[in-house]
């Protein structure tokens, strides 16, 4: 029975796969870029999540199609010829292969990629790490550079290719600090400080926004990170320290 099914799937798949692949390529070329797109990564953390996503996407698509076809085939075929007691004897193989082995295998595979990726994102301290403090308010972000003793509102300047530790707090309600093209988000919680490690691998402007609902101004609580080359960042620092900028 099983090999018949596999044959049928083989017949169906190439056509479908080709179609899906073409659509996906078009999508990834045109639709996946955008100022807030996690699929248009500009830093190592966002990059590894994007890779994981595409891996999961293809695997998930395959599983969905497989399950749908299996179900459809199970509905179409006539299996009444097997007597009841024999069928009940077959339950173990169905459940053990499909119900236990399949999900456990998939989860193991996922964790094998996911755990190292997550580990690399942790904000370990290091000599070259830049430290920036961010305090969220309804509805703006206050950015403080302890080394330079300057404060900015809704804009952040960072050197490219340098790990940055953002120390994030909240002055009122819970907000969430998120720059999708650079990496994951972390909540700003009153009473505690969360540290988020981000790094930009190219220069430019990256959009950030609040991700946790924080009241009527939530939709407009955005900010920008400007990643500069080392030289540009040094000159920016000089300018602001001299007081040209508030």
- Cα radius of gyration (the chain): 25
> Quick check: 74 binds another protein (CB under 8 A)?
yes
> Quick check: 58 binds another protein (CB under 8 A)?
no
Binding segment for another protein (CB under 8 A), chosen from 7-15, 56-64, 155-163, 238-246, is 56-64
Cα separation values, 146 from 134, 152, 182, 214, Å: 11, 12, 22, 27
Site map 89..108 versus another protein, x via CB under 8 A: -xx--xx-xxxx-xxx-xx-
* Among the listed residues 10, 11, 15, 76, the single contact to another protein using CB under 8 A: 76
141: tokens are 């972000």
Nearest CB to another protein, comparing residues 84 and 127: 84
> Quick check: 85 binds another protein (CB under 8 A)?
no
CB of 20 to another protein, least distance (A): 13
> Quick check: 12 binds another protein (CB under 8 A)?
no
SS (H, E, C) the chain: CHHHHHHHHHHHHHHHHHHHHHHHHHHHHHHCCCCCCCCCCCCHHHHHHHHHHHHHHHHHHHHHHHHHHHHHHHHHCCCCCCCHHHHHHHHHHHHHHHHHHHHHHHHHHHHHHHHHHHHHCCCCCCCCCEEEEEEEECCEEEEEECCCCEEEECEEEEECCCCEEEEEEECCCCEEEECCCCCCCEEECCCCCEEEEECCCCCEEEEEEECCCCCCCHHHCEEEEEEECHHHHHHHHHHHHCCCCC
CB of 36 to another protein, least distance (A): 3
Q: How far apart are the first and last CA of the chain?
A: 74
> Quick check: 210 binds another protein (CB under 8 A)?
yes
> Quick check: 204 binds another protein (CB under 8 A)?
no
Nearest CB to another protein, comparing residues 191 and 243: 191
Residues 22-41 that bind another protein (CB under 8 A): 27, 31-39
> Quick check: 14 binds another protein (CB under 8 A)?
no
CB of 103 to another protein, least distance (A): 4
Residues 108-147 that bind another protein (CB under 8 A): 110-111, 114-115, 117-118, 121-122, 138
> Quick check: 234 binds another protein (CB under 8 A)?
no
Site map 147..186 versus another protein, x via CB under 8 A: -------------------------xxx-x-x-x--xxxx
CB of 105 to another protein, least distance (A): 11
């Amino acid at each position: 029975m099983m090999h018949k099914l596999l044959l049928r799937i083989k017949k169906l798949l190439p056509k479908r796969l080709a179609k899906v692949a073409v659509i996906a390529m078009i999508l990834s070329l045109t639709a996946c870029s955008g100022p807030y797109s996690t699929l248009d990564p500009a830093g190592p953390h966002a990059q590894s999540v994007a890779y994981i996503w595409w891996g999961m996407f293809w695997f998930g698509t395959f599983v969905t199609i497989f399950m749908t076809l299996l179900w459809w085939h199970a509905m179409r075929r006539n299996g009444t010829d097997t007597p009841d007691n024999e069928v009940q004897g077959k339950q173990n193989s169905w459940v053990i292969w499909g119900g236990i082995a399949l999900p456990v295998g998939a989860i193991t595979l996922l964790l094998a990629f996911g755990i190292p990726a997550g580990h690399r994102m942790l904000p370990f301290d290091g000599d070259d790490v830049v430290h920036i403090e961010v305090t969220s308010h309804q509805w703006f972000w206050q950015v403080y550079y302890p080394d330079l003793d300057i404060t900015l509102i809704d804009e952040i300047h960072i050197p490219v290719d340098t790990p940055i530790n953002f120390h994030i707090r909240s002055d009122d309600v819970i907000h969430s600090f998120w720059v999708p093209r650079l990496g994951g988000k972390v909540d700003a919680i009153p009473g505690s400080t969360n540290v988020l490690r981000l790094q930009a691998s190219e220069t430019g402007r990256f959009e950030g926004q609040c991700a946790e609902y924080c009241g009527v101004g939530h939709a407009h609580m955005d900010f920008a990170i400007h990643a500069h080359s080392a030289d540009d960042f040094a000159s920016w620092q000089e300018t602001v320290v001299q007081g040209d900028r508030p």
